[in-house]
Amino acid sequence: MRRARSAPHSIITTTTGAAKAIGDVLPALKGKLDGFFYRVPVIDGSIVDLSIDLKKEVSVKDLNAILKSYADQSLKGILKYTEEQFVSADILGNIHSSIVDCNLTKSIGKLVKVVAWYDNEVGISNRIAELVSAL
């Protein structure tokens, strides 16, 4: 019923297949993720707000250092790390799959929150182009 409401004037929650898709791609995470999607009246651009219950405590500083390391090395070109204070319009046309917003990283004991922005059209298009090029 929510999706039948006025989209240009509302934030609407709905289901998402993203958690299932992640479990399909990364079997170790199957059944360990769930979530929902917010439909908001913007041209493009999305944000993921990921809460994770870790096995041990980690500080925001250490978690951000790990994320930055991945963005600079093994996930370079796929994951971006930013200290800028982005809004959705700032990521339009960005080719990265996700842009970690380090200013929004939180940690309370073993519970951490990582927030990442993404252009839900351009990022996936670039990953598909890379895959086709590799074939």
Mean pLDDT, residues 98-109: 96
For the chain, what is the mean pLDDT? 88
Residue 135 CB partners (closer than 8 Å, separation 6+): none
Residue 14 domain boundaries: 1-41
User: Token match 């990265």: residue?
Assistant: 96
pTM: 0.82
Whether 75 and 101 map to the same domain: the answer is yes
Count structural domains, the chain.
2
Residues 64-77 pLDDT 10s: 999 999 999 999 99
For residue 105, the number of C-alpha atoms closer than 13 Å in the C-beta half-sphere is: 20
Whether 98 and 127 map to the same domain: the answer is yes
Whether 13 and 76 map to the same domain: the answer is no
